[in-house]
């Protein structure tokens, strides 16, 4: 009997499900914009269906083209402003409509500040379940902004690529890895622009091959520039796929001769096909391993890979508010969870009896210890490890915190750390946040034993949707709370 071969059927494509929504992809609709979401997109409704429209502002009537729909909401691109908001502002950046860096440049700055205050209020109410109006409500103060909200970033991370056979470097277009070649960014410190332009010109002249992200070929992947705003020192970091740089001496000399204030030229080697900027190996090609800068009176050493706040002027505003909320008088013991390189810890050490900082990244703790020594602050102790492990160990050694300060990443505090805070019961908790939604979530947990007294938003990143804030919590049985 002859064998019969049964054909295997390939994976079946799922039938396209038509969503029962009042708009369709490709349709142009006219919509009233009633507000902004946390990313700065306009929020409107068509027959009760929510549409997020990039570039639209509250109070406007716009025409927008629908480009994506889901069951409960969709996304549309702005086609025309039919009725403009009085707060609409002409973006001074010529690449604003192509670059994804500044989502709010079209909104007058004072309105940006009001919007960010409202974002914090909305998250506290919606996620945290807190009252933000009336008697007994949490006070959310007006956002502290900048007198000049331009040229504030002290660090640039610029991807390098190739376009039509020429080396290009700039920033990624919104929601893509397509590089927009640019020589000027209005939120970058001028020294960043100058240094990036100098490297691009020198690399082009010396035929140093730009990186091709798709094929994984080429040498120069990124140019990272850091500026000590108070000191004027500049560090240039060349991120390459290989250790050998052809005509390295000529490249270094070109950077030295063209970049004012350059104090450090560093190479980082990243051979991996990855979106991560830095590789594991870093070498100094010329000058110092670090540059220096000040936040207030505190001096910091900044290496190629160390974290340092990108807006030092507003960082000082934020840290002064943190110091105020900590209520430090010189007699308090303070624990700084997520201490990083010790920026907040050393600010607190100025007016505290002793500060204990914990951070999971060992390299950051090494930087923190060096920065404490640099400033002659002997009342700061740093330890590497998870805060929820290290802090209970300190408690077992008899360390009792009067104040605990947390400054977590965007994902918020580890749940175990929140439980540790509730168990240690410091009189005060100061929560520094870069994400209003996780701030509200974590405050809801801490509200089991603490009253959230007030929240101060600070505009660390003008013209973007990001908002930083600092919250003061008092233990329910403290004398100040009773008063």
Tens digit of pLDDT for each residue in 262-283?
Answer: 999 999 999 999 989 999 999 9
pLDDT at 8 over 50: no
Asked if residue 224 belongs to a domain, the reply is yes
Asked if residue 123 belongs to a domain, the reply is no
Identify the residue with better confidence: 9 or 240: 240
343: CATH: 3.40.50.150
- Does residue 434 carry a catalytic annotation? yes
Asked if residue 149 belongs to a domain, the reply is no
Asked if residue 195 belongs to a domain, the reply is yes
Yes or no: say if 210 and 167 are a contact pair by the CB < 8 Å rule: yes
* Residues above pLDDT 90, as percent of the chain: 87
pLDDT of residue 419: 95
- Please tell me which residue in 99, 102, 339, 434 is annotated as part of the active site: 434
| Residue-range definition of the domain harbouring residue 34 | 28-83
- Residue 342 sits in the same domain as residue 421: yes
169: CATH: 2.40.50.1070
pLDDT at 438 over 80: yes
pLDDT of residue 31: 97
- Tell me what the mean pLDDT of segment 368-375 comes to: 96
The pLDDT-based confidence of 100 (bands split at 50, 70, 90) is: confident
- Residue 277 sits in the same domain as residue 316: no
Yes or no: say if 151 and 188 are a contact pair by the CB < 8 Å rule: yes
pLDDT of residue 97: 83
- Residue 320 sits in the same domain as residue 259: no
- Residue 288 sits in the same domain as residue 357: no
Asked if residue 187 belongs to a domain, the reply is yes
Identify the residue with better confidence: 19 or 89: 89
| Residue at a domain's end among 46, 63, 83 | 83
Q: What tokens appear for 433 in the block?
A: 């946040």
d(CA 345, CA 236): 28
pLDDT at 330 over 80: yes
| Residue at a domain's end among 45, 67, 83 | 83
pLDDT of residue 5: 40
The alpha carbon of 169 is separated from its chain's Cα centroid by a whole number of angstroms, namely: 21
d(CA 304, CA 291): 9
What's the sign of the alpha-carbon dihedral 430, 435, 441, 444? Answer: positive
Tens digit of pLDDT for each residue in 441-480?
Answer: 999 999 999 999 999 999 999 999 999 999 999 999 876 6
The alpha carbon of 312 is separated from its chain's Cα centroid by a whole number of angstroms, namely: 13
Asked if residue 1 belongs to a domain, the reply is no
- Tell me what the mean pLDDT of segment 87-101 comes to: 89
Yes or no: say if 375 and 341 are a contact pair by the CB < 8 Å rule: no
- Residue 199 sits in the same domain as residue 61: no
Q: Which residue matches tokens 């290496």?
A: 303
pLDDT of residue 105: 95
- Tell me what the mean pLDDT of segment 143-149 comes to: 98
- Residue 282 sits in the same domain as residue 180: yes
pLDDT of residue 483: 53
- Residue 321 sits in the same domain as residue 467: yes
- Residue 285 sits in the same domain as residue 369: no
Tens digit of pLDDT for each residue in 126-145?
Answer: 999 999 988 889 999 999 99
Between vectors from CA 125 to CA 119 and to CA 129, what angle results, nearest 5°?
150
pLDDT at 192 over 70: yes
Yes or no: say if 76 and 53 are a contact pair by the CB < 8 Å rule: yes
| Residue at a domain's end among 295, 330, 357 | 295
- Tell me what the mean pLDDT of segment 168-196 comes to: 92
pLDDT of residue 482: 52
The alpha carbon of 222 is separated from its chain's Cα centroid by a whole number of angstroms, namely: 19
**R_g (Cα) of the chain, nearest Å:** 26
Q: For the chain, give the mean pLDDT.
A: 93
- Residue 274 sits in the same domain as residue 367: no
- Residue 289 sits in the same domain as residue 359: no
73: CATH: 2.40.50.140
Asked if residue 217 belongs to a domain, the reply is yes
Tens digit of pLDDT for each residue in 16-40?
Answer: 556 889 999 999 999 999 999 988 8
Asked if residue 369 belongs to a domain, the reply is yes
d(CA 362, CA 104): 36
Domain count within the chain = 3
- Residue 468 sits in the same domain as residue 340: yes
pLDDT at 7 over 70: no
Tens digit of pLDDT for each residue in 47-74?
Answer: 999 999 999 999 999 999 999 999 999 9
- Tell me what the mean pLDDT of segment 395-424 comes to: 95
pLDDT of residue 101: 81
pLDDT of residue 3: 40
- Residue 354 sits in the same domain as residue 470: yes
């Amino acid at each position: 009997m002859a064998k019969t071969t049964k054909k295997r059927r390939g994976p079946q494509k799922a039938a396209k499900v038509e969503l029962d929504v009042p708009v369709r992809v490709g349709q142009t609709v006219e919509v009233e914009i009633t507000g902004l979401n946390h990313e700065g997109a306009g929020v409107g409704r068509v027959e009760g269906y929510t549409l997020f429209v990039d570039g639209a502002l509250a109070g406007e009537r716009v025409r927008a083209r629908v480009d994506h729909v889901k069951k409960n909401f969709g996304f549309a691109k702005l086609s025309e402003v039919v009725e403009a908001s009085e707060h609409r502002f002409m973006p001074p950046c010529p690449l604003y409509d192509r670059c994804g860096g500044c989502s709010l440049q079209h909104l007058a700055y004072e309105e940006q500040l009001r919007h960010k205050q409202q974002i914090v209020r909305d998250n506290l109410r919606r996620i945290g379940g807190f009252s933000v109006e009336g008697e007994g409500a949490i006070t959310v103060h007006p956002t502290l902004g900048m007198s000049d909200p331009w040229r504030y970033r002290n660090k640039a991370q610029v991807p390098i690529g190739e376009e039509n056979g020429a080396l290009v470097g700039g920033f990624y277009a919104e929601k893509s890895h397509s590089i927009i070649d640019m020589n000027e960014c209005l939120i970058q410190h001028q020294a960043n622009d100058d240094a990036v332009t100098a490297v691009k010109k020198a690399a082009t002249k010396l035929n140093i091959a730009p990186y091709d992200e798709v094929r994984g070929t080429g040498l120069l992947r990124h140019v990272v520039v850091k500026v000590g705003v108070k000191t004027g020192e500049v560090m240039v970091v060349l991120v390459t796929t290989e250790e050998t740089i052809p005509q390295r001496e000529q490249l270094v000399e070109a950077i030295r001769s063209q970049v004012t204030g350059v104090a450090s030229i560093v190479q980082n080697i990243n051979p991996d096909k990855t979106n991560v900027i830095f590789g594991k190996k870093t070498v100094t090609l010329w000058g110092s391993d670090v540059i220096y800068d000040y936040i207030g009176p505190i001096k910091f050493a900044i290496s190629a890979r160390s974290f340092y706040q990108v807006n030092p002027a507003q960082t000082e505003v934020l840290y002064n508010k943190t110091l105020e909320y900590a209520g430090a008088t010189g007699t308090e013991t303070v624990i700084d969870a997520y201490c990083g390189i010790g920026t907040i810890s050393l600010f607190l050490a100025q007016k505290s009896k002793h500060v204990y900082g914990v951070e999971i990244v060992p390299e950051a703790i090494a930087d923190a210890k060096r920065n404490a020594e640099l400033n002659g602050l002997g009342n700061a102790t740093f330890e590497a490890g998870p805060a929820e492990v290290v802090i209970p160990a300190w408690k077992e050694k008899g360390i009792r915190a009067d104040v605990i300060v947390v400054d977590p990443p965007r994902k918020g505090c580890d749940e175990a750390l929140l439980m540790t805070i509730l168990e240690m019961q410091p009189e005060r908790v100061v929560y520094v946040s870069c994400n209003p939604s996780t701030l509200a979530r974590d405050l809801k947990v801490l509200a089991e034993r603490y009253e959230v007294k007030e929240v101060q938003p600070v505009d660390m990143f003008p013209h973007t949707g990001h908002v930083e804030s600092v919250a003061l919590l008092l233990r329910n049985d403290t004398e100040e709370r009773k008063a």
